[in-house]
Amino acid sequence: MKKIVETIGFLVLLQGVGGLLYEWTGWFRLWTVVRHIDLLGDRMLFVNIVLIVAGVAVMIAADAVKS
């Protein structure tokens, strides 16, 4: 169970980093999921930062999960 939670946290972190790279450079256009959600509009930068923080928090919290 611990590895699953760590993997989910890592994937969320990667989505946030990829989203930031897309916002700043235009790369990873097909790789980011947040870009495809029209509801977020011009809040993409904030959402990607929140994804990075949430991914790190989930990876840290994975230590509390018993195997």
pLDDT digits (tens, 9 = 90+) for 1-25: 889 999 999 999 999 999 898 889 8
Assign residue 27 a region (left: φ > 0; alpha: ψ between -120 and 50; beta: otherwise).
beta
* pTM summary value: 0.85
pLDDT tens-digit map of 34-52: 878 888 878 888 999 999 9
Q: How many CB atoms lie within 10 A of CB 40?
A: 13
